[in-house]
């Protein structure tokens, strides 16, 4: 099938409402979340409903075989809580085992050893238990109906589904269960997933235990061990989500909140702290401003490549990393006229593919939520009759035994998926629930939409519409991808400054992520939402 390149020339207005809003990459998912809000549920309830429908309608990016993270803003208290719904490496998986099997530097991306325990099912249930108001069965009902009855596949989803069919599903065990006669569904074609409906129905009736114990767990272990993996039923039964203290930094009067490591939200905060040391040029697409943003991101990635790891296994000096003193030291490394491609991690102390969506309810509670398989369908391995593919998050482990992110039994890997929130520093009120999905693009997207809204005064839709840059590998020395819409002369100037650059158009613009933003006016309570034009989704409210 030939997929037409999207032109991205259409225009969207921001969406306004007062009683609740959902912004996601799939219209049916946004509508499902909104239906929960309209039925009296809150932001947490609607978030899980949205996540579940996204598993049905966009399995190219997310699902019950993957992980999730969430930030929840509680309107009554102004408090922010962070849910870490990521899984851990199997107890029998070690560097010694990998060396014996001939893996010295890296694992193939779709190898069964890259499968970490899926954390999404527990994350959904735990979010509802702590912050929700509705039974999990009611929250999952829209997704179960769509999985049983079928849904028409959206255009960009169809494109990425076809890519996943070619890369993973056709050759991996069980992958055919997510195809139609061996191929990906076309845009507008109906797709049913009765296996996923059965999985969600089991969770509705038995909670997270129905996933991590019993028939679903048996099927996960059967397929993983059948292809040479070492995960066991004990690994699944031992899984638990964790509630953690979120990290934050202030940029121009707004406190930006992120989940702590093992997530990479630290990169966004480090870059914003560095940029706060400069007076940014007013033109957001000028070479001078883009150069500062790129250099701040290079410095941030140099740090996070070392400091983002499982805090249960490594000491991470977060307070020092996020200090103004450290930001000033790191900012001093930027040459305003020349790129620096060999930035090294700093010493803050002596010696030392994815779906994102946002929900805000009428009371002002907000849930910033992200759920992912990684690399599209993850490994592409589908346990029999479950309707979901298993993630490959373990590919982000380092095989260097001296690295803080080195693979170890029971350890969580460096995680790319990150939700974000912003509050007003003057009174702690909610300003925005936002995120930009897409691997190592995510902290870069966070930085760019924050600058768009805070520095440039853009509404959520305009902030998402703006052309973006992306350090393609998420490293200090990465090539800079430049989105169509950045002037040619600016691209040339960045190249002259020493940045390796590559212009990107068409379907390649997926490299710049797909974001969702909802803001809230602290006086009127009016919500304003935007949905990324690089995806199939929309913001809806009532």
Separation between Cα atoms, residue 202 and residue 467, nearest integer Å: 43
Element (H, E) at 300: helix 287-307
Closest among 416, 421, 450 to 434, alpha carbons compared: 421
Residue 163 DSSP SS3 = helix
Give the three-state DSSP class for 453.
helix
Find the radius of gyration of the CA atoms of the chain: 22
* Side-chain half-sphere CA neighbours of 438 within 13 A: 29
| Closest C-alpha among 354, 64, 94, 392 to residue 224 | 392
Distance CA 172, CA 119 (A): 22
Q: Which of 199, 354, 379, 519 is catalytic?
A: 354
Are β-strands 242-244 and 190-191 bridged in parallel, bridged antiparallel, or unpaired?
Answer: unpaired
CB 252 within 8 A of CB 285: no
Active site residue 386: no
Which helix (DSSP H) or strand (DSSP E) does residue 196 occupy?
helix 194-206
Using CA atoms, how far apart are residues 124 and 137, in angstroms rounded to an integer?
Answer: 12
Please, which residues have CB within 8 angstroms of residue 65's CB and are 6 or more apart in sequence? Answer: 118, 120, 373, 378, 382, 383, 386, 388, 389, 390, 391
Asked if 113 contacts 230 with a C-beta cutoff of 8 angstroms, the reply is yes
Cα–Cα distance measured from residue 86 to residue 213, given in angstroms and rounded to the nearest whole number: 18
- Residue in 122, 126, 37 with CA at minimum distance from that of residue 81: 126
- Contact by Cβ (8 Å): 24, 46: no
**Residues forming the active site:** 354
């Amino acid at each position: 099938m030939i997929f037409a390149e999207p032109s991205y020339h259409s225009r969207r207005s921001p969406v306004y409402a007062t009683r609740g809003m959902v912004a996601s990459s799939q219209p049916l998912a946004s509508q499902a979340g909104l239906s929960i809000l309209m039925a009296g549920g809150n932001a947490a309830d609607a978030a899980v409903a949205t996540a579940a429908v996204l598993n049905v309608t966009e399995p190219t990016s997310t699902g019950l075989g993957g992980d999730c993270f969430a930030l929840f803003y509680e309107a009554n208290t102004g408090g922010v809580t962070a849910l870490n719904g990521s899984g851990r490496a199997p107890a029998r998986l070690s560097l010694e085992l990998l060396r014996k099997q001939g893996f010295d530097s890296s694992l193939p991306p779709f190898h069964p050893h890259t499968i970490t325990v899926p954390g999404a099912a527990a994350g959904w249930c735990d979010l509802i238990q702590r912050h929700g108001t509705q039974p999990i069965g009611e929250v999952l009902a829209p997704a179960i109906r769509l999985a049983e009855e079928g849904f028409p596949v959206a255009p960009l989803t169809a494109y990425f589904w076809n890519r996943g069919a070619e890369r993973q599903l056709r050759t991996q065990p069980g992958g055919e269960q997510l195809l139609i006669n061996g191929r990906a569904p076309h845009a507008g074609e109906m797709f049913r997933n009765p296996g996923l409906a059965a999985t969600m129905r089991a969770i509705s009736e038995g909670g997270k235990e129905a996933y991590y114990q019993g028939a679903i767990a048996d099927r996960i272990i059967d397929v993983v061990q059948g292809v040479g993996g070492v995960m066991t039923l004990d690994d699944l039964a031992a899984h638990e989500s964790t509630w953690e203290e979120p990290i934050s930094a202030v940029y121009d009067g707004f406190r930006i909140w992120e989940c702590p490591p093992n997530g990479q939200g630290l990169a966004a905060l480090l870059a914003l702290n560095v940029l706060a040391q400069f007076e940014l040029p007013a033109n957001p697409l000028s070479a001078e401003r883009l150069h500062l943003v790129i250099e701040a991101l290079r410095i941030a990635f140099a740090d996070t490549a070392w400091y983002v790891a499982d805090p249960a296994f490594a000491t991470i000096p977060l307070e020092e990393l996020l200090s103004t003193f450290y930001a000033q030291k790191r900012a001093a490394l930027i040459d305003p006229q020349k790129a620096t491609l060999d930035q090294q991690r700093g010493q803050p102390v002596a010696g030392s593919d994815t779906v994102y969506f946002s929900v805000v309810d009428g009371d002002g509670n907000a849930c910033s939520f992200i759920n992912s398989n990684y690399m599209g369908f993850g490994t592409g391995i589908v346990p029999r009759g479950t309707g979901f593919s298993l993630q490959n998050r373990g590919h982000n482990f380092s095989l260097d035994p001296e690295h803080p992110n080195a693979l170890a039994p029971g350890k969580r890997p460096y995680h790319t998926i990150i939700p974000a929130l912003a509050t007003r520093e003057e009174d702690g009120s909610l300003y925005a629930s936002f995120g930009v999905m897409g691997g190592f693009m995510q902290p870069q997207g966070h930085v760019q939409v924050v600058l768009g809204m805070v520095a440039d005064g853009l509404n959520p839709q305009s902030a998402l519409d703006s052309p973006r840059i992306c350090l393609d590998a998420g490293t200090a020395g990465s090539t800079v991808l430049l989105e169509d819409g950045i002037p040619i002369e600016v691209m040339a100037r960045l190249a002259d400054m020493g940045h390796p650059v590559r212009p990107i158009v068409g379907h390649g613009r997926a490299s710049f992520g797909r974001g969702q933003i909802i803001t809230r006016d602290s006086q009127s309570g009016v919500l304003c939402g935007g949905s990324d034009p690089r995806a199939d989704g929309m913001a809806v409210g009532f």
